[in-house]
Structure 1
Amino acid sequence: MVVVLGVGAMLYLGKQKEAKEPGIEDVIKGEKEAQEAEEKNEDFIGKLIPLETFLVNLSGSRGRKLAKVNMELEVSNDDVQIEIDKLKPKIRDIIIIILSSKTYAQVSSKEGKDSLRDEIRDQVNLFLTKGQIKRVYFTEFIYN
């Protein structure tokens, strides 16, 4: 009789433990939900601020190679937009200096453009106090 009660208690306690531990379906469901939430955050585009066209001579070209660039800045909040509007001449100056310091070889590749995006974002963020530029998007990039 004691053996039967012991086996019954072990089975009962074992079932309770299994009920507390998440099953494989719960783990898969939780992982899928976390992955979907992460994808939404990566794809989310915040407020975009368009800048006027930049037309600059590329470095080392003796004025023979020009770059025409249009870009938009993705910002982290609305306060940054107001700050960017106030600092627009300073921001344009920084971007013109960065663009004109690049050679044709530096801006003609995908890696070069990615590096340029990062440099522009990092340099402009140095002047912003109310938020940050999250990304720089080139909407037009023409060079001859």
Structure 2
Amino acid sequence: MAQPNDPNQTKAQAPAEESAEAQDLSLDQLDSMILSEAPDFANDLKNVAFIPSDGSIDLDVPDPGENYVPDNPWKDTIGIRKVLVTILPFLPKLWEFQYRTRNKIYLFRTRLKTALIEAGPRLLQASKNSATATKAYSKERVTAFKSLNRPMKAVAAALIVAAGLTFAFIYRSMTRGVLPPEKEFLTASLEEWAVHAYKYDPDSEMDSFYDSPRTIQNIMSLPKMVVNIRPSPSSGPNPMAAMEFFLEGLSPEAIVEVKDRESEIRDLFQRTIEEMSYAELESTEGKQQLTEKLRQSLNINLTKGKIRRVFFKEVVIKP
């Protein structure tokens, strides 16, 4: 058994007593000791950012750089991975691509979250600063206006009113215009003046003005006339034609004039028919050509109106 005055025992008990004394030091005493012996280190400790304990920072997941790529597990592999890389040599590049993509998505999400969190306070602070600056500027302008004499105040008020009117004039010019729109001297359509506008189909919903049963038909009949016509190889030496016509005028005045000059009109018709041959009058096209010639000759000689149509009432042709 060792004696109390054993030097080995004294040396063994000394560290234990020092450690016990160190454990009895409080945190305040430790801070004071650090502050007195190493003030620079104490200041560095105060500048360390506080780490929140709400789990908003994931200490297990490091914040990698955008171009950081860890060691590729598909390179220098053995076993089943080596076989897969031999069969599919693009697997290492595919792994790096997915890692970079996931890293970019993680960084984008983190930055977006930080920006959204900081956007509110920044916007609020910017609004407060703007309101404060506006208030100070307005107060300064009001003070400057009050310091002016009466003539200068009148000039300043006139300038303010003129600036407001100028702004209103520019705004109205850019939106609705100042001068009224120019109106055309001639009206292209009566639709803009009508109370109601109606649409119709001209092919199925329109009646001819002259052929409508609701209008007066200006029609008269010329008595039958017998005329010698020119012979043709298919006729005899003296072919003849007996014809009776209907005349349709565009106005009653034209029919009245034809009635008054009936003998003259009959002679005009006979002279025109004599120029036609038997072969021409025998065909349908020849008969239509004759009625058109009669209409044109008649309209040239009339003075109070025009004839719209000349058509046959009866036709007899002798070869």
Counterpart in the other structure of 1:49? 220
Consecutive unaligned residues in structure 2, runs of 5 or more: 1-197
Asked whether the equivalents of residues 51 and 71 of structure 1 are also in contact (C-alpha less than 8 Å), the reply is: yes
Mapped partners of 2:298, 2:270: distance in 1: 12
Asked whether the equivalents of residues 53 and 68 of structure 1 are also in contact (C-alpha less than 8 Å), the reply is: yes
Which stretch of structure 1 is more off in the superposition, 53-62 or 66-75?
53-62
Q: Deviations over 1:78-117 (max 9, x none)?
A: 1112111121111111100011111011111111111111
CA RMSD of aligned residues (A): 2.1
Q: 1:44 to 1:105 in 2, by over 3 A?
A: farther
Asked whether the equivalents of residues 57 and 63 of structure 1 are also in contact (C-alpha less than 8 Å), the reply is: no
Counterpart in the other structure of 1:87? 261
Q: CA deviation at 1:64?
A: 2.4
Equivalent of residue 115 in structure 1, options 289, 296, 299: 289
Equivalent pairs, count: 115
Counterpart in the other structure of 1:74? 248
Asked whether the equivalents of residues 76 and 134 of structure 1 are also in contact (C-alpha less than 8 Å), the reply is: yes
Q: CA deviation at 1:31?
A: 5.0
Larger RCO (CA within 8 A; separation ≥ 6) = 1
Percent identity among equivalent residues? 26
Counterpart in the other structure of 2:277? 103
Q: 1:100 to 1:40 in 2, by over 3 A?
A: same
Equivalent of residue 35 in structure 1, options 198, 203, 212: 203
Q: Whose strand fraction is larger, Structure 1's or Structure 2's? A: 1
Question: Deviation above 4 Å: which 4+ runs of structure 1?
Answer: none
Which stretch of structure 1 is more off in the superposition, 132-141 or 53-62?
53-62
* Rg larger in structure: 2
TM-score by length of 2: 0.33
Asked whether the equivalents of residues 55 and 68 of structure 1 are also in contact (C-alpha less than 8 Å), the reply is: yes
Q: CA deviation at 1:131?
A: 0.9
